[in-house]
Chains A and B, each alone.
Chain A
Amino acid sequence: MIRIVDLHKAFGRKKVLQGVNLDLKQGETLAVIGQSGSGKSVLIKHIIGILRPDKGQIFVDGVEITTLKDDELHKITPRFGMLFQGVALFDSMTVAQNVSFGLERYTDFSQERIQELVAESLDKVGLKGCEGLMPQELSGGMRKRVGLARAIAYRPDIILYDEPSTGIDPIRADAINDLINMMKREMNVSSIVITHDIVSAYKVADRIAMLYEGKIVEAAAPEEIRNSKNPVIQQFIHGQAKGPIKNW
């Protein structure tokens, strides 16, 4: 479904991605783990076209997207829903306006149908009746859920989650993990979950890939990752300060 080939990206002298190779299969949930600042968010932003690579290719169902112009890219972006790390709700808009934003641009539905879909999406994430609230009136967990409702409102078939459990307490984080699993079950979506929370990764992923020093060091089923012989992976999943991964 998605194939990433030899992806490179640098910001000034800082080389963030140095030859990432990865793929996502239909209906699969792939978790990409790695330290903070390892380039996980940069990777996910390339997939949706927010960032353009210095070198390398990304294929979505065989279509190379890195060379597409913005107008052409916007014909593919309705296939993606994205939950941003800081949620990125439009703070001058109500919850309903946030959730309907993509629907208004990606579909020709009537206002009544859009409102129905907004209510349905909010209901899915457990926020029925919150349409009129402003983002600043919501708690961290509620904001994440509104972000998710916005990402699924126009029924994309690929959802990208950027640190879905960051910044919320463990109970709410687990509720978000349940929602990710529910999206897969009920909407049959393929997902990429960027996280440094190994507990979340084990709970939601069919496959886990570890990004380290700009490359994918291993991509395998959660059990294989748990039993990996790679010292980098062992240090990361056990959260140890000592090991091949430098602390700072």
Chain B
Amino acid sequence: MFQKPKSLLAYFYSFFQQAGEVSLLLLKVLKNMFKKPWERKVFIQQLEEIGVRSLPLVSLTAAFVGLAFGLHIYVAFHRYIGPDSEAYGGPMLSLGLTKEFIPILVGLMVTGRVGSAIAAEIGTMKITEQIDALFSLGADPTRYLVIPRVLACFIMLPCLTMYGDIIGMAGGFFYNVYIMGVNRILYIRTTVHYVELWDIAGGLIKAAVFGVIIALIGCWQGLRAAGGAEGVGKATTKTVVIASISILIVNFFLSKALPSI
């Protein structure tokens, strides 16, 4: 049987209810973040899981985005400004990568790899009563599960973005200098001259915010999972969809809010 479509009012109600749930979880995280005992072991495990194990994915993504972006920048300068102007594409490529592409792509990649895993892991723990067991054994689920993941994402996303920035810029440099024969010295000199530390820092700030979004939504979906394997599947899918959309929306507002000149 087909389900009766929800009214617009029901959609609004559901949206605000869910936004409220996430806000309350964030509040709980902030309130408990500095309280002892700290779950150091879990936190270190999460740093490895979220950061170190995402390196191959980030390397591949950043390298090919750098190459492709480098190609288009070369074509654009060559076609619209003229031959021998391609070396001036270096700053444009670096700014585009560090301020927009790499933070967003790292955010989306980590959402797919880590956000979904967080939702699946916590969701499975929820439906198999492991979260109740944690509580009965003296571990607060927010402190044991949510805070280490939020903190680890908050720290590791900027690190991954920084790493992605280097790989991406190296990809663009490689394409322009070694494939298209652009002047190496000029390319480096213009890049160093026009790209400021703040441009890179802006991207890292965005990445830290994306990290919190990914972990928070993954944990929230995991904690509200219900109804067996199907529930865990839905939590995983919703995490990827909600976190990805949130990253894209928040990115625009951060780009607007962070000073760029």
Contact = CB atoms under 8 A, between A and B. Distances in A.
* A-B interaction: yes
B129 A84 contact: yes
A80 interface: yes
A230 B129 CA distance: 34
Contacts of A150: 137
Contacts of B139: 101, 105
A70 interface: yes
B135 A88 contact: no
Interface residues of A, number: 23
Given A86-B128, A88-B128, A70 B133 contact: no
A198 to B, nearest CB: 24
Contacts of B130: 88-91
Contacts of B136: 48, 50, 77, 80-82
Interface string B92-133: 000000000000000000000000000000000000111011
Contacts, number: 47
Chain B interface extent, by class: 10 to 19
Nearest to A107: B138
Contacts of B129: 84-86, 88
Contacts of B137: 77, 101-102, 105-106, 150
Contacts of A88: 128-130, 132-133
Contacts of B138: 74, 77-78, 102, 105-106
Contacts of B133: 82, 84, 88-90
A153 to B, nearest CB: 9
Interface in A79-103: 80-82, 84-86, 88-91, 101-102
Contacts of A74: 138, 140
Q: Chain A binding site: helix, strand, loop or mixed by DSSP?
A: mixed
Contacts of A81: 136
A82 B135 CA distance: 10
A49 interface: yes
A3 interface: no
A91 B122 CA distance: 12
Most buried by B among A50, A88, A91, A101: A88
29 contacts: A48-B136, A49-B135, A50-B136, A70-B140, A74-B138, A77-B137, A77-B138, A78-B138, A80-B136, A81-B136, A82-B133, A82-B136, A84-B129, A85-B129, A86-B128, A88-B128, A88-B129, A88-B130, A88-B132, A88-B133, A90-B130, A101-B137, A101-B139, A102-B137, A102-B138, A105-B137, A105-B138, A106-B137, A150-B137
Interface of A: 45, 48-50, 70, 74, 77-78, 80-82, 84-86, 88-91, 101-102, 105-106, 150
Query: Which 8 residue pairs are nearest across A and B when measured between Cβ atoms?
Result: A105-B138, A88-B129, A88-B133, A102-B137, A82-B136, A84-B129, A50-B132, A88-B130
